[in-house]
Amino acid sequence: MTPQVITVSREELKSLIDGLSDNELEAVRHYIQSIHPSDNPVASPLEDVPVDDEPVTDDDLSAIEESDADIAAGRVVSMEELRRAYGA
């Protein structure tokens, strides 16, 4: 089977980025840094860590659904709140 080639233009990505909220931009920045370890010294050592190939269990799926519901309901804590609470 021949792998599918996906082509995306820089203009298309720029257009998508322009429509993101500040929180979404932060998530995208973290993702891009994670795939460019040379830009992120913390990610470099993680390159050699094996991929987690364990199957997702029913308990895993339940936990994911629960966390999605918490996020949707606004039951979240910001990093600033954590830092204030724990002095980090």
* 2 DSSP assignment: P
Task: Note the pTM of the prediction, 2 decimals.
Answer: 0.40
- In the predicted model, residues of the chain with pLDDT beneath 50 are none
Q: Model confidence over 40-62: pLDDT tens digits?
A: 566 667 667 788 888 999 999 99
Write down the domain spans for the chain.
10-86
Q: What share of the chain is helix, strand, coil (3-state, %, to 5)?
A: 60, 0, 40
